[in-house]
Amino acid sequence: MPVTSREISERGYYHLILRGNGKQIIFEDRADYIHFLNNLKQYSEEHKIAINAYCLMENHVHLLVCAGDQNIPMFMKRLAGNYALWFNRKYQRTGHLFESRYTSKAIHGDDYLCTVFRYIINNPQDKNICPAAEYPWSSYRSYGHPKSFVDTKILMELIGSFEEYEAFLNAKYENDEIGFISDKRDDEWAKAIIKKTLNIESGMKLQTYDWETRNEAIRLLKKNGLSIRQIERLTGISKGSIQRALSAASA
C-alpha cells in the first residue's frame, strides 16, 4: 500500500502525535520525561520549529508546532530516534519504541488552532489523570512565561490574559471538535478550497479538463485537505478515477 502524502498547512501549524509502538509505555520515570523535553527544546531550535504546546502522556506525545513542512520530518526523526536509542539503552530493551510513522494534522484557521491547543493541554484531565493545571509534563505553565522555550505568542493573541486562558481551558467542548475526528470541513469549506486552489467556480468543470490536467487537479485538491468522497461529490468524477489519479502520483 502506498504511503499517503501529508497534508500541508498554509500557515505552517500542525498537530503532531508520536505513539508508543503497540501502546508501549515510553516514559517510565521522571528522568525520561526530562530527557525527552531537553531533546524537544534542542531539536526544535536546531530545526527552527516553534513549539506552541506539548503534552507528554505515558504512551504518547502531543505537539502543536509551527514550521515549514520540510523541517518537520527531520525534526521528528531526530526527536524520536534519539529518545528511542536512549530509552532502549537505559532499560536494556531492543526493538521499535514508537510506531513507524508519526501522525500529522494540518491546522487551518484560528478557531481550530485554539481547539487543538485546548485539547492538548487538557489531555490529562480528559483522561481522568488529574486537572490540567496539576499535570507536570505539559506546557500548561508555559503560557505567558518568557523563559519557556514554548512559543505561546500566537495563543496569547487569540486567547488573552491568564485569567481568560484558564477560562478558555475550563470551557466545555466536545472532543469531536478536534481535527482527528472532525475539522468541520463540510462541502462549503471544500467548495472554497476548490475555487481558491483551481480558480474555478465549480468542481464540475474538472470534467472538461484533459486527463493529465484533471488528475493533477485531483491530486492538488487531496493535498489541500479534501476527502475522496468530497472530490467525488463536488466534481462528479467517479471514486475509482480519483483513486487511480492518486495512485499514479505515488507509484
Q: For residue range 16-69, list pLDDT tens digits in order.
A: 999 999 889 999 999 999 999 999 999 999 999 999 999 999 999 999 999 876
Closest CA relative to residue 177, chosen from 6, 63, 20, 15: 15
Domain with CATH 3.30.70.1290 in the chain: 13-177
- Using 50 as the pLDDT threshold, list the residues of the chain that sit under it: 1-2, 174-184
Closest CA relative to residue 89, chosen from 146, 32, 169: 32
pLDDT value of position 182: 38
Whether 80 contacts 39, CB under 8 Å = no
Q: What is the DSSP letter of 27?
A: -
> HSE of 126 in the Cβ direction (CA atoms, 13 Å)?
16
CA distances to 32, 150, 243 from 125, rounded to whole Å, are 21, 21, 40
Strands (E), 57-133: 60-66, 103-106
Q: What are the φ/ψ torsions at residue 78 (nearest 5 degrees)?
A: -70, -40
pLDDT value of position 186: 67
Whether 17 contacts 103, CB under 8 Å = yes
Q: Cβ neighbours of residue 25 under 8 Å, at least 6 residues apart?
A: 58, 59
pLDDT value of position 239: 84
pLDDT value of position 249: 63
Q: Cβ neighbours of residue 183 under 8 Å, at least 6 residues apart?
A: 105, 108, 112, 225
pLDDT value of position 180: 37
CATH no. of 13-177: 3.30.70.1290
